[in-house]
Structure 1
């Protein structure tokens, strides 16, 4: 069993408003991320949110939702909230960032399938040689991840355990774009206009 945790309780400081509710394609950024996750081979989807509207979107799409009341303390709180909701039957947890709408289901499935066919316990995508997201962890790392703190995810685990990593090569670095600023948002929209197949 594979669980996907969507981290959607960031502060959107650089954007000045909740970037996950910005228009994207025919809906919003967070709806695109949820839909891509639902189309993947994940067995359960968990949405960690701080905005009530985003929570309602998740509920309407039939996925598990968990409110993060500690979002001000950083991304680690979202990671731990989501991890706490993961099924005990789950073998792997894929952490998906809510502001990366170009991560489509084929990329997620490539990561999931790699996990199922390797003895390595951390699956990391490489976009033209650069590490990116989403990252999948074997459940053996659950306690380690629960020990992280601050405004970052389990990046330290990746850095400290190179022998546990299986890299997945993704052919185009544009899929690794996140929407942190207005410039990022305009760039992602432009890519969609230029390539309707994304």
Structure 2
């Protein structure tokens, strides 16, 4: 991934504990973001979901800026998908998740979560094997 992003103005971090589940990647990312200083929110986009349209990310971020909620997930035809945006108030809880659940339970249990409907089937389409492409 670092090679693919060479020349792009982003910082990458390496999750040395990747074999312990998805939550370790989320935790590594959140900890890196917290080291950056004052951050309002994070948008979690999964690496195995390459078909999410850029407009979808813009829509979720705009919904957050407009006050739609503190935990927002893109949805297609009413079904929750990715990416998911979490307000900074979730950061401590996100660094405590374990296994392969990631932030799903936090999202589902939050009174301030909302689905943001988008016209993008990519929010529900992941790639696990080459045939998924």
TM-score by length of 1: 0.62
CA contact (8 A) 1:128 1:172 kept: no
TM-score by length of 2: 0.90
Structure 1: gaps of 5 or more residues: 1-53, 186-198
Residue 103 of structure 1: aligned partner: 52
Structure 2: gaps of 5 or more residues: none
C-alpha RMSD of matched pairs (Å): 1.5
More helix by share: 1
More strand by share: 1
CA contact (8 A) 1:75 1:153 kept: yes
CA contact (8 A) 1:58 1:64 kept: no
Aligned residue for 1:159, secondary structure, equals helix
Deviation at 1:111, TM superposition (A): 0.1
Aligned residue for 1:120, secondary structure, equals coil
Deviation at 1:153, TM superposition (A): 1.0
CA radius of gyration, larger in: 1
Confirm or deny that 1:150 pairs with 2:99: yes
Distance 1:113 1:158, change over 3 A: same
Residue 26 of structure 2: aligned partner: 79
Question: Runs in 1 of length 4+ with deviation above 6 angstroms?
Answer: none
Confirm or deny that 1:182 pairs with 2:122: no
The number of residue pairs the alignment matches comes to 131
Tell me which moved more, 68-77 or 55-64: 55-64
Greater relative CO, 1 or 2 (CA 8 Å, sep 6+) = 2
CA offsets per residue over residues 107-139 of structure 1, 9 Å max, x none? 000000000011621011111010000000000
Aligned residue for 1:111, secondary structure, equals helix
